[in-house]
């Protein structure tokens, strides 16, 4: 094995969304990740969150299946689960049922405690309750969902990983594991320090598309081009704004009035009229290599083959599926490219053999319905 996390063993209980991505990112960096699945199924090369992982299919409602899961957990450093509070305890696999040195990662939207902790929800709901969703979208319509990147994966996956690896470091001092309660309604606000600061300073308005980062500023938004495609402008700093103005041919712009919010509606309309005169790719060529902070808005297929991304190998293709390479990059302990996803339960026999189960033991487990 290679990668900076090659010494870690992770047991992930199959689920959806943020927890599988957390397991994938750990596996991408070399961790040995084993997914506990509910049943076997064919491999699906499009299930990218399974890449680099192994899988065991167990019936946890049988005594033998539960015992196999516990034996698997005994050899693990980290456990990841994304069920509602109490589900793992009812299975007999709660934190109190696990070794003291285990780091027990719990991924939910509302957290392990609180009045909504047992309530269903999705990214958009968690984002709504943090105040962040209110800031996305045009000023003349309802808030827009930013895919499921902000709550599920930003406030969820990334904070789960942050907590797990922090607990690994702390265990190196104390010798003890602990529970990491990662909730999306905790993680999203934790990313909003800048916005909270601007609110406290009176420099952020609640109305959408009236602020410098929400599309209100003429120098930080997307514009339609003559071919119906878009260009993204992010010239925040004065020197970059000056470069934008010069290359776009907006000579009459008052550079000193960049942050005159009263003039923003007029300036947005003027910028829009200018960008509508050329195609997206014509504008991209004009701004190529400049510090104007302008980039073409690419679709997913274009992003995968754009020269800037290709030069870094940001994407690669496996079994006909385009996907992102492992991130971030390491100078010394670079991970290998992850192996393609295997099917749920594909590694059951091999994993159990590693745990000391014999061929006769496996036959008995199957006879008792412990293996699914």
Neighbouring-strand partners of residue 323: 316
Whether 122 is a known active-site residue: answer yes
Tell me how far apart the alpha carbons of residues 363 and 64 are, in angstroms, rounded to a whole number: 12
Map tokens 């491999």 to a residue. 43
CB 11 within 8 A of CB 58: no
Whether 152 is a known active-site residue: answer yes
Which ranges in 83-214 belong to alpha helices (H)? 87-91, 123-129, 158-174, 184-190, 193-200
DSSP calls for 10-71: EEEE--STHHHHHHHHHHHTT-EEEEEESS-----TT-GGGTT-EEEEB-TTSHHHHHHHHH
Tell me how far apart the alpha carbons of residues 76 and 241 are, in angstroms, rounded to a whole number: 52
Tell me how far apart the alpha carbons of residues 352 and 27 are, in angstroms, rounded to a whole number: 20
**Residue 296 host element (H or E):** strand 294-296
Which ranges in 153-299 belong to alpha helices (H)? 158-174, 184-190, 193-200, 238-248, 264-275, 280-287
**Residue 362 host element (H or E):** helix 359-367
Q: Which of 77, 152, 186, 347 is catalytic?
A: 152
Q: Which of 97, 122, 306, 361 is catalytic?
A: 122
Instruction: List active site positions.
Output: 122, 152
């Amino acid at each position: 094995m290679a990668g900076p996390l090659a010494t870690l063993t992770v047991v992930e209980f199959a689920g959806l969304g943020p927890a599988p991505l957390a397991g994938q990112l750990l596996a991408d960096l070399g961790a040995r990740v084993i997914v506990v699945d509910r049943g076997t199924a064919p491999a699906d090369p499009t299930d990218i969150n399974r890449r680099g992982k192994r899988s065991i299919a167990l019936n946890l409602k049988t005594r033998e299946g539960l015992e196999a899961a516990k034996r698997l957990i005994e050899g693990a450093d980290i456990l990841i689960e994304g069920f509602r509070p109490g589900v793992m305890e009812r299975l007999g696999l709660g934190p109190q049922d696990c070794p003291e040195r285990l780091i027990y990662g719990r991924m939910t939207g509302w957290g392990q405690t609180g009045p909504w902790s047992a309530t269903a929800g999705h990214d958009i709901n968690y984002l709504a309750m943090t105040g962040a969703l209110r800031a996305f979208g045009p000023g003349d319509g309802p808030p827009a969902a930013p895919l499921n990147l902000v709550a599920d994966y930003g406030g969820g996956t990334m904070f789960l990983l942050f907590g797990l690896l922090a607990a690994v470091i702390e265990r190196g001092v104390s010798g003890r594991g602990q529970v990491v309660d990662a909730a999306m309604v905790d993680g999203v606000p934790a990313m909003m320090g800048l916005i909270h600061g601007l609110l406290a300073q009176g420099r952020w308005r609640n109305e959408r598309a009236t602020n410098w980062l929400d599309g209100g500023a003429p120098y930080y938004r997307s514009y339609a081009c003559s071919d119906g495609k878009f260009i993204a402008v992010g010239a925040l700093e004065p020197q970059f704004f000056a470069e934008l103005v010069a290359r776009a041919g907006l000579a009459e712009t008052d550079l000193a009035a960049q942050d005159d919010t009263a003039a923003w509606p007029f300036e947005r309309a003027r910028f829009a009229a200018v960008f509508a005169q050329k195609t997206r790719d014509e504008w991209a060529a004009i701004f190529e290599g400049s510090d104007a902070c302008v980039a073409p808005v690419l679709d997913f297929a274009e992003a995968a083959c754009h020269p800037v991304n290709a030069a870094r190998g940001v994407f690669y293709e496996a079994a006909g599926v385009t996907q992102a390479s492992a991130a971030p990059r390491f100078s010394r302990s670079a991970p290998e490219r992850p192996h393609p996803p295997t099917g749920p339960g594909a590694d059951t026999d091999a994993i159990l053999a590693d745990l000391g189960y014999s061929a006769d033991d496996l036959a008995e487990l199957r006879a008792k319905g412990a293996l699914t």
